[in-house]
Amino acid sequence: MSQEVLITPALPNFSSIHPEQIQKDLQTMLDEHRSLITALVKAENPSWSSVAQPMDNMADQLNKYWSPISHLNSVRNNEALRQAYNASLPELSKYSTEIGQNRNLYDAFASIKTSSEFPGLTEAQQKSISNTLRDFHLAGVDLADDKKARYKEISQRLAEITSEFSDNVLDATQAWTKHFASAEGLAGLPKTALAGAKQAAKVRNKEGYVVTLDFPSYYAVMTFAENRELRKEVYEAFSTRASDQGPHAGRYDNSWLMEEILQLRLEKSKLLGFTTYADYSLATKMAGSPEEVLGFLNDLAEKSKPRAEKEMQELREFAKEQGLESLEAWDVSFYSEKLKQERYAISQEELKPYFPVEKVVNGMFAVVERLFGVTLKAVTDVNRYHEDIRYFEVERGGKSIAGIFMDLFARENKRGGAWMADYSVRRKLDDGRIQKPIAFITCNFASATEEHPALLTHNEVTTLFHEFGHALHHMLTKVDCNDVSGINGVAWDAVELPSQFLENWCWQEEGIRLISAHYQTQEPLPHELLEKMLAAKNFQSAMMMVRQLEFALFDFRLHHEYQPDGFSIQEILDQVRNKVAVVQPPAFNRFQHSFSHIFAGGYAAGYYSYKWAEVLAADAFSKFEETGVFNPETGREFLHCILEKGGSREPMELFVEFRGRPPQTDALLRHNGIV
């Protein structure tokens, strides 16, 4: 068997991205692709090489052009780039819909499926063809011309307004700050948080300290600030972002955008013959029906809520002992932290010095090396858009097989949250060589200050592992076919399996030894601190479980029940909270207005997938608990059955192949201390 030849695609040249050129260059590329498609559908006897491979080539070229622009828009946003990005979205949507509704192209792929060539194609190629035919139907290829035109209009409009939703959240987050001349008003905040607030003031050319709505700053105030009025003020500013409430009420209001997004999603679904957007969403997922999803979520809620109520009652009683008569939403994190300290004598802040980001990143690489036999090596001579960016080559047996850009720190003009995205996918080129997959990882951790290097809470360590799990799924694939390579073509409710799976090593003593070292003494996390951390692992885990179920049920019911007339988004959220929540937020809370996952991301009627995949991840990890957390054979099995296969086979088949049976919920409830 000839050895495969891997090549690295030209890496993104961020400094050559000029906003004024984007629309023109994109239009040129799309018009070239349109001409190529017109020519290739005329070919007689359509085959993989005459139709599917050229379509793969075009998809890859477009992704490598657009992905760095999209990435920059998220991590180094400015007005010129934002305008060019938003102006391009309708064109991309129009092009995508044209392809999806091109009957001649559909007929060409259908011919390949029924041809004598099909049985001889690889498993991945066959899955790609089948997925493509399914996606033609979901893009409206069967619709009458007037309905096709309406579908196209809806898709373009959705591309515009979901981006606008995201812009409003970013602008609202950046619009609010609070300045303190001295640290007096920030009593209770730990040194690392004060250093961050000092840094935030410095970059704004101010003396003293600045609190922002970036998550590290928000989290520090809500968890540690002794000034209850300050906690309430910051909570209100954060929980009313981009809404009709709070300090910037109406200024970046997403209210009407949410309504229009839901209305257009429903109309699009009905055009395609689905009853609701939830039905449409499930057409590409593991779950078979809305009833199955709702049953799954409600079952978890029933098992978790009694324990969550008990945890909440304990917290109320503790707060009362501390002199607080009525526990409000802005008190929950503060008193939870105090109770956790009293019970386990440990806090995220106390752990921070043991998790300097450099040690965590290198330790994470060591974990992955032991599990999957790959190493990561820093490469410095690449084009970067900020000094914080780092690039690594992934190697197996001394040979580079993939690459990854890491952008870990919060800063101005950068979208909040954490995510993984791809620049290039592993795929076979026309000349038989294999293109290497390249990934982006983005987080929003507090950066280094004059006093100390960048230090992570243990929660942030698990966030990094989570995103790196996604990246491994993308980078370690052995699939050579664009549509099902890496994370491509993976059912959305299975895509979180590798990410949540990798988080487990942040809780194992063998893993923690690799990722921890005090930034001053280089001592690993002391055993007594580790014991406390593990003892505290499931502190309020049921409260956290029902909070995630609240988000998932709200999202799914919203997309399953929405009707254009007389429907209230707030009412659905209130109903869900009354059923599953143990923390009832104040009336001004507008969480939904910044719920970008479902209104601007890919999780619409799919937020449940976090819990769905968590069941898979916990059950998969239980095999390592049985055989050893660094058992190389079990690591190889997970690599071969899950990570290498990408979307080339159905996720349930792959899971059963790895685990030897279908998934069970017991491990998840056990890992969370709920049973």
Q: Return the active site residues.
A: 467
CA-CA distance, 241 to 237, in Å (whole number)? 6
Provide the b/e sequence for 64-79 (b: ≥16 CB within 10 Å): bebbbbbbbbbbbbee
Q: In what order do the strands lie in the sheet containing 427-428?
A: 6-7, 434-435, 427-428
Q: Coil, strand, or helix at residue 634? A: helix
Q: How would you classify residue 64: left for phi > 0, otherwise alpha for psi between -120 and 50, otherwise beta?
A: alpha
User: Looking at the DSSP assignment, which residues form a beta bridge with residue 394?
Assistant: 376, 402
Between CA 499 and CA 503, with CA 501 as vertex, the angle to 5 degrees is 75
CA-CA distance, 241 to 235, in Å (whole number)? 10
Q: Coil, strand, or helix at residue 671? A: helix
**Which pairs from 50-55 meet CB under 8 Å and 24+ separation?**
51/105, 51/108, 51/109, 51/112, 52/109, 52/112, 52/125, 52/128, 52/129, 52/132, 53/430, 55/105
Residue where the block lists tokens 């096709």: 148
Six-digit token string for 500? 């949540």
Six-digit token string for 242? 């981009």
CA-CA distance, 531 to 83, in Å (whole number)? 51
Question: Is 423 in contact with 68 (CB distance < 8 Å)?
Answer: yes
Question: Is 185 in contact with 294 (CB distance < 8 Å)?
Answer: no
